[in-house]
Amino acid sequence: MKRKVSGFNVPSYTAAFMLFCIFPATTFAAVLHCDIDSGGAQPFSPYTRENPIAADQNIPDYSVVLSLDYAQFLPNMRMTCTSDGQEFEPPVAFDGTITLSLSAVNDKALNWTGEADTTNNGIKLKMYIKAVSMNEETLPNSYPPAAMAAGKRLGVEYPIINGKDDTTLVEFGAQYNAAKTLYKYDNKYNFAIESMRAELIKFGWMEYGSQAVIPPGAHLTFTIDGLSGIATVDVPLGSGVYIAAPSCSLDNKHQVVDLGGIRKSSSGTFPQEGPLTRFGMDFTCSSYTSNVEFTFDDANAVINGKDTLVVHDAADNKALSGIAVEIYDSEGKVVKTGVKQNLGVGQQGKNTASFQAAIVQTAANVTDSGGNSFTGKITAKANVTITYY
C-alpha cells in the first residue's frame, strides 16, 4: 500500500526508514448491517394513470380515499441483522441490543400527527405497523436474538405517529464471547417479521391531474439504532397512485325482477315470506372508487326507513293491503328504504351489486283498495340511487 504524506520532507541522506501503517480497528457500524426483505412488494404500483383512484372533492377532510390492509401493503417484512460471521469490539455505550425504527418516508420525516406528505397537497399517507413473529430461541452466550421492545406486544397494531417511538417494536440481541468483549450478529438467529398497512387520507383540496400522488421511487427509510453513527435501510414501495374525479352509473336504468308467486295463507303467524329471489344490479365506474353506496326508495310511498315496499295491483295500479315486497342484501339482511347500503370499493369498469327480494304476506287477509279479497298479479317499484366517493 502506498500512502502520500504531505507536509513532511524526508532528507535525502537517510539510508533507510520504515513506514508503519496503523489501521484503526473496524468500527461497529462497518461490521454490522441490517436488511429488510419485503418480498418484492410494490403496494402502490397497481394504481396507475390508467387505473386511478376516484375521490370526490366534496367528501369531508380526513376521509380515507384508499385503504391498503396488511395483505395489500407490506404483509411480510423480514428484518435481519448480521455481522457476516465477524466479531467486533462494541462501542462504549453498546448495551448488547440494536433496534430498527421508521425514520422517513420518501426522505421526509413524518410530521407530528404521523401523516406523511405526498405530491398532492390534499392527500396524506397514514400508516400502521405490528410485529407478527420473531425468533425466540434461547442461545448460549447470547442476549435474546429477538425480543419485543419495552411496552410493545406481539401482534398488536400501533398507529405510526412518532416514527421512532411507535415503530421500535423488536430488539435484536448480540451473541458474545465468554468475557463479553467481542460481539456478533447472525441473520439465522437475529430476525423478526413485521407487517404494515396504509391509508391515503383526504387532507384538503385535492389536485386532479397527471402527477402521481406517490412519487416514483417511493420508499420507507428505517434507522438502525444502537450503532456508533447512523445507518439506514430502505424499503421500496413502488410508484403510482394516480387520482381522478369519480364517476359511477347504473348500467340498466329500468330493471325488472320477477319474484314469482306466494301461496296466500289465512292462518299462522305473520309476516310470512315467500321464496327469495337473487338479483344483481350492474354498474360501471370510470376509475377505482373507495366507496359505492346504493339507496332504495319506495316509489309508491312518501315515508322512508321502512322494511318493505308498497305493493299495487298490476291491473289498476291501486295499492293493496296485507302484502308487500321486502329487499335484502347479499347476506340476507333487510334493506330499509332511504338508508344507504355501502358496497365497499368499486373497481374500474364493470361491477355488480348483489341483492335479494321476496313477496311477504303481512296479514291474514290480502285486500284491494275497496277492501275486497285479492288474488292476482302484483307490482312494487323502487327508485335506486348510486352514490360514490
**DSSP string of 134-170, one letter each residue:** E-----TTBS-SSEEPTT--TT--EE-SSHHHHH--E
The region, left, alpha or beta by phi > 0 then psi within -120 to 50, assigned to residue 317 is left
State the Cα–Cα distance between residues 185 and 187, nearest whole angstrom. 7
Q: Cα separation of 154 and 145, whole Å?
A: 15
pLDDT score of 15 more than 50:
no
Distance, CA of 371 to CA of 58 (rounded, Å): 49
pLDDT for residue 6 is more than 80: no
From the list 146, 172, 156, the residue with the least C-alpha distance to 70 is: 156
Q: What is the predicted pLDDT for the residue at 38?
A: 95
Binning pLDDT at 50, 70 and 90, where does residue 229 land? low
Report whether pLDDT(16) > 80: no
Q: What is the C-alpha to C-alpha distance for residues 295 and 339, in angstroms, rounded to an integer?
A: 6
Q: Where are the domains of the chain?
A: 28-244, 248-388
DSSP per-residue codes, 205-243: S---SSS-SBPTT-EEEEEEETSSS-EEEEEE--SB--E
Digit-coded pLDDT (tens) for 24-71? 334 445 578 999 999 999 999 888 888 888 888 988 999 999 999 999
pLDDT in tens, 320-374: 999 999 999 999 999 999 999 999 999 989 999 999 999 999 998 999 988 999 9
Q: Per-residue pLDDT for 13 more than 60?
A: no
Query: Does position 5 have pLDDT exceeding 90, yes or no?
Result: no
Q: What is the pLDDT of residue 228?
A: 66
Over residues 150-161, the pLDDT tens digits come to 999 999 999 999
pLDDT in tens, 99-120: 999 999 999 887 767 889 999 9
The residue-averaged pLDDT of 178-198 equals: 95
pLDDT at residue 227 greater than cutoff 80: no
pLDDT at 293 over 70: yes
Instruction: For the domain covering 248-388, report its CATH number.
Output: 2.60.40.1090
Does the pLDDT of residue 203 top 50, yes or no? yes
Taking residues 247-268, report their average pLDDT: 89
pTM of the model as a whole: 0.67
pLDDT in the model for residue 265: 85
At residue 18, the pLDDT reads 36
Instruction: Give the pLDDT score at 195.
Output: 98
Stretch 216-245: mean pLDDT: 87
Alpha carbon 267 to chain centroid, angstroms? 53
Most confident of 223-232, 243-252, 330-339: 330-339
Is the per-residue pLDDT at 281 higher than 80?
Answer: yes
Per the structure block, which three cell numbers stand in for 286?
370510470
Q: Is the per-residue pLDDT at 300 higher than 60?
A: yes
